Structure 1
């Protein structure tokens, strides 16, 4: 939905009483369920909206924040000059004016993407709640350099402010919710998830270098692909990101992806995922059902941090659930 600048400026923000909802509203329960304890947002209350935002997790250059419902608000300045902010409304709506464009972001249909270095205006009614992913622009630029040869880059990295469509929105929403659910993680897990956040924004959202990323690339040699496969096979736990594997093979990520498609008919991400699913299956078969090792422990060991998605992928590949394998081991 697109609104004119005049409509954005003149639209009245509903009073809190007009948007009041019961704490038992199922939308509220779904919203709070995205964020595990002890980071339950408090619905209602007062104070500056940015001050009430709750940081639910930091993953290297990426941070996830939750903005509770409760107060109508308007924000007319950049919260930071060095971050790209992706805002996913969960309830209500958010009016955005950014980079000379005006639009309204609504749940399940659209998100707002705010690039640094330019002013914006955000306005939302009291019943609006949202998740926000904030990523350091320097880290995104460095990641872009690993994906794209210098000869194909020109100008700064700048994202399209308004993103509409299930493909873009759902990919980003899945990553943001995964990060929110992994709040409190530490060590290597935070680096893996931070790397996923960078790749998601660069590959799933339109920006100033999207066309160059979509251009054909060279193919990694068979030796580079086999070296990467050897490293994957030798893993004793989730250790590498795909970007790190490309660096070790001394090729760009896109070149490695082309090599894997030529050799195996899949991407290195898919190959890595299949390998880790197989190793998780082997660990579950070897585990003592009465022991301390749980399905969650084994899933996390192999880089699967969302148990529901892990179970679904596991069952699709092996025809049984992880719990079933553990019980009969």
Structure 2
């Protein structure tokens, strides 16, 4: 992996995030025109400008990893830069200042997003104008509207509409945008563990992308936020049993809740209500418990001669953050997964 960026001269409360994506450099330049051209390759097009006296201070850097449906990156300019972004129906963007501030124009009003306090939602529709402070370093999340439309179909049950939800430009307190903030951080931290997006397991890319899409749909305001006039009802027991059979038949992590609902032909909300009625837990809780048990089974059955690792078993069952997997495993089985693996290998020796 490339050397970590020296951020010692830039105040930041998020050093780990600032350093996590350095393998995905898109540009590092003192020329704002080069940065403007570079941004067009992975974000919506826009114009960058700087006060004449600040041109010599430009030190623009961008790091960006793209899963297809979702992308995450971090950007800075080193000078106070004006951003004029044209409407782009392809993308929804979220900008999270990690240091400094971003001032956003909304009509005649200027709203300031501050590091550690707020985030900026950049809608697909409508001209967007903002100004980054010279010390601003930001985490960027970009989602395609086509992927949001697909994910929204799973949440609303309107599978065939194909219409993406419509968001609005806004500055939100972090506590209101917490789900999206957390999804962006997770995406950056996990992808940052790999040298190249091409070597990231497809199952991991899929899970991270679906998580980010769901976070945006459930955590940000849009025109599909309120359910349509129908009342959501719990899925019938037969649909819950079908979903359970799909989960129980997995050879590894395959489904997320959205996909599970689509396979049995009901909405996510109906599936959640059905699981609560039948099992007194959510589909996610059932999947997580079942996959923990299977990871435990696989660790017990591991053979020292085949080189099985805890990370391999955890990843197979959809636990891509090994620290959290270890904590959940110990809470459930009373020992760390490495202890189970060591014991099983001793038994095979």
Unaligned runs of 5+ in 2: 1-5, 39-59, 192-196, 345-349
Note the alpha carbon deviations across 1:204-249, whole angstroms, 9 max, x for none. 2222222227985111111110111111111111111222211111
* Alignment match, 1:38: 23
Q: 1:105 to 1:43 in 2, by over 3 A?
A: farther
Instruction: Compare 62-71 and 265-274 and name the one that shifted more.
Output: 62-71
Q: Aligned to 1:262, which of 268, 271, 277?
A: 277
Instruction: Compare 283-292 and 54-63 and name the one that shifted more.
Output: 283-292
Question: Which structure 2 residues correspond to residues 103-122 of structure 1 after superposition, within 5 A?
Answer: 103-122=111-130
Separation (CA, whole Å) in 1 of partners of 2:7 and 2:237: 60
Separation (CA, whole Å) in 2 of partners of 1:197 and 1:21: 27
Instruction: Compare 307-316 and 88-97 and name the one that shifted more.
Output: 307-316
On the 8 A contact 1:34/1:177 being kept in 2, the answer is no
Q: Aligned to 2:190, which of 147, 164, 182?
A: 182
On the 8 A contact 1:32/1:41 being kept in 2, the answer is no
Q: Aligned to 1:219, which of 228, 234, 238?
A: 234
* Alignment match, 2:154: 146
On the 8 A contact 2:178/2:219 being kept in 1, the answer is no
Unaligned runs of 5+ in 1: 1-19
* Alignment match, 2:95: 87
Q: Number of residue pairs matched? A: 306
How far off its partner does 1:28 sit? 6.8
On the 8 A contact 1:72/1:125 being kept in 2, the answer is yes
Separation (CA, whole Å) in 2 of partners of 1:265 and 1:186: 33
Q: Aligned to 2:67, which of 59, 71, 75?
A: 59
On the 8 A contact 1:45/1:71 being kept in 2, the answer is no
How far off its partner does 1:159 sit? 2.4
Note the alpha carbon deviations across 1:70-101, whole angstroms, 9 max, x for none. 33321112374321101111111111124776
* Alignment match, 2:171: 162
Q: 1:189 to 1:119 in 2, by over 3 A?
A: same
Normalising by structure 1, we get a TM-score of: 0.81
How far off its partner does 1:258 sit? 1.1
On the 8 A contact 1:44/1:71 being kept in 2, the answer is no
* Alignment match, 2:223: 208
Note the alpha carbon deviations across 1:127-176, whole angstroms, 9 max, x for none. 2111111111122123222321459x9x972225222142x333222211
1:279 partner SS: helix
Q: 1:320 to 1:74 in 2, by over 3 A?
A: farther
Separation (CA, whole Å) in 2 of partners of 1:28 and 1:196: 22
1:76 partner SS: strand
Greater length-normalized contact order (CA 8 Å, ≥ 6 residues apart) = 1
2:32 partner SS: coil
Q: CA RMSD in A?
A: 3.1
